[in-house]
Amino acid sequence: MLRYLGLGHRQFGLFPLVSGGRLNWEFYAVVQGRCGPVLQPDTPPLLRSNTLWVFPSGSRHGWGGDGPRRAYITAFHFGSVPEQIQAAVRQNGHLELPLRPAECRRLVALATELREHFHRPTNLSELIFQGALVELSLLVLKKLQVPEVPLPDGHAKRAVENALFWFTEHIRQNPSVAEVADHVHVSASTLRRLFRQIRNESPAQAFSRIRLETAMRLMSQTNAKLEIVAEECGYSCTSDFCRAFKARHGSTPNQWRRRILKTPAHARNWTAAA
Question: Tell me: the pLDDT tens digits for 2-39?
Answer: 999 999 999 999 999 887 778 899 999 999 999 999 98
Which residue among 144, 177, 201 closes a domain?
Answer: 144
In this predicted model, what pLDDT tens digit does every residue of 175-216 receive, in sequence order?
Answer: 999 999 999 888 899 999 999 999 999 999 999 999 999 999
pTM: 0.57
Domain identity same for 139 and 10: yes
- Give the residue, 149 or 260, on which the prediction is more confident: 260
Give the residue from 102, 120, 144 where a domain finishes. 144
Taking a C-beta distance cutoff of 8 angstroms, is the pair 195, 201 a contact? Answer: yes
Range of the domain at 45: 2-144
Residue pair 34/48 in contact (Cβ under 8 Å)? The answer is: yes
Q: With cut-offs at 50, 70 and 90, classify the pLDDT of residue 154.
A: confident
CATH code, domain carrying 28: 2.60.120.280
Q: How many domains does the chain have?
A: 2
83 and 17 within one domain? yes
Q: Is residue 85 located within the same domain as residue 187?
A: no
- In this structure, the answer to whether residues 30 and 121 fall within a common structural domain is yes
Burial of 176 (0-12, 13-18, 19+ CB in 10 A): middle
Q: Do 136 and 15 fall into the same domain?
A: yes
Same domain for 9 and 140, yes or no, is yes
pLDDT (0 to 100) of residue 267: 46
For residues 84 and 136, which has the higher predicted lDDT (pLDDT)?
136
Domain shared by 103 and 209, yes or no: no
Give the CATH number of the domain where residue 181 resides. 1.10.10.60
* Residues 127 and 258 placed together within one structural domain of the fold: no
What are residue 38's DSSP bridge partners? 62
Quote the pLDDT of residue 150.
62
> Are 164 and 208 a contacting pair, CB within 8 Å?
no
72, 127 contact by CB (below 8 A): no
Total residues belonging to the chain: 274
Q: Which of 79, 114, 144 is the last residue of a domain?
A: 144
Check whether residue 7 and residue 76 sit in a common domain: yes
Let me know whether 171 and 63 are in one domain: no
Q: Is the same domain home to 119 and 163?
A: no
Check residue 181 and give its pLDDT.
Answer: 92
Which of 21, 5, 258 lies closest to 125, judged by CA? 5
Residue 30 zone, left/alpha/beta (φ > 0; ψ -120 to 50; rest): beta
Q: At what angle do helices 203-221 and 253-261 cross, to 10 degrees?
A: 50
Task: Decide which of 249 and 52 is more confident.
Answer: 52
Please tell me whether residues 71 and 197 are part of one structural domain. no
- CA–CA separation, 30 and 96 (whole Å): 11
